[in-house]
C-alpha cells in the first residue's frame, strides 16, 4: 500500500514522503491517526506541485539548518552527573540531558531530534549524539559526561 505521509513518522519517513507499508499498518494505524493519506494519482500530482512551490522556501531552511549545525559543532558540552564507585553513574544521561545542556549554551533543540548513540549513557566519558535539524541535515554532536563536584 502506497501512502503519502502528512507528518514525520519515526522509522518510516518524513512529511510528504511517499512510502510503501503493509496494508494493515496503513489502513488501521497511519490513516485513522491522520499521519498519512492514500497515494492516489491525483494526490501525487498535488504533492509534486506543493513540493515544487516549497523548494525555494526549503533552500533557506536548509541553509539555516547548516548554519545551526556549524554552531553546534563549535560547542563543547560537558554534562555533570553524580557518580558512584568507579566511573558508573547514578541514573543515566540521555537525549533530554543533552537538550538541556545545549539550551544552557543558547541554542534550542527539541529533545525528539536528538539521538544519543547507544541509547542512554551510564558511565563517564566522551560520547556522540546525532542531531537531526532537517530531513537533509543532521550533525554528529560530541559531548562528555563528567563527575559532578
**Can you tell me the distance from the alpha carbon of 127 to that of 43, in angstroms, rounded to the nearest whole number?**
43
Phi, psi of 29 (to 5 degrees): -125, -60
Q: What is the pLDDT of residues 94-105, one digit of tens each?
A: 999 999 999 998
C-alpha angle 19-21-26 in degrees, rounded to nearest 5: 105
CA distances from 108 to 51, 128, 131 (A): 27, 18, 12
pLDDT band at 39 (very low <50, low <70, confident <90, very high): very high
Res. 138: pLDDT tops 80 = yes
- 119 plus 91 within the same structural domain: yes
- 55 plus 115 within the same structural domain: no
- 52 plus 72 within the same structural domain: no
> Cα 143 vs. chain centroid, distance in angstroms?
17
Please give the average per-residue pLDDT across 119-130, as a whole number.
Answer: 90
- 121 plus 79 within the same structural domain: yes
pLDDT band at 37 (very low <50, low <70, confident <90, very high): very high
Domain count for the chain: 2
The whole domain housing 35 covers 2-60
Question: What is the pLDDT of the chain when averaged over all its residues?
Answer: 89
CA distances from 60 to 65, 113, 134, 149 (A): 9, 20, 12, 43
- 82 plus 27 within the same structural domain: no
- 46 plus 94 within the same structural domain: no
Pick from 2-16, 27-41, 50-64, 132-146 the range whose average pLDDT is largest: 27-41
CATH of the domain at 106: 3.10.430.100
Amino acid at each position: 500500500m502506497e501512502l503519502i505521509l502528512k507528518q514525520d513518522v519515526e522509522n518510516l519517513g518524513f512529511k510528504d514522503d511517499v512510502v510503501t507499508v503493509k496494508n494493515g499498518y496503513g489502513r488501521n494505524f497511519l490513516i485513522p491517526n491522520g499521519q498519512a493519506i492514500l497515494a492516489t494519482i491525483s494526490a501525487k500530482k498535488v504533492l509534486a506541485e506543493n513540493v515544487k512551490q516549497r523548494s525555494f522556501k526549503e533552500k533557506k531552511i536548509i541553509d539555516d539548518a547548516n548554519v545551526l549545525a556549524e554552531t553546534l559543532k563549535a560547542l563543547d558540552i560537558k554534562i555533570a552527573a553524580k557518580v558512584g564507585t568507579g566511573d558508573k553513574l547514578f541514573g543515566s544521561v540521555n537525549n533530554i540531558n543533552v537538550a538541556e545542556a545545549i539550551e544552557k549554551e543558547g541554542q534550542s533543540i527539541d529533545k525528539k531530534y536528538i539521538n544519543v548513540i547507544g541509547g542512554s549513557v551510564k558511565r563517564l566519558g566522551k560520547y556522540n549524539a546525532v542531531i537531526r535539524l532537517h530531513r537533509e541535515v543532521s550533525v554528529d554532536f560530541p559531548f562528555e559526561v563528567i563527575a559532578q563536584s
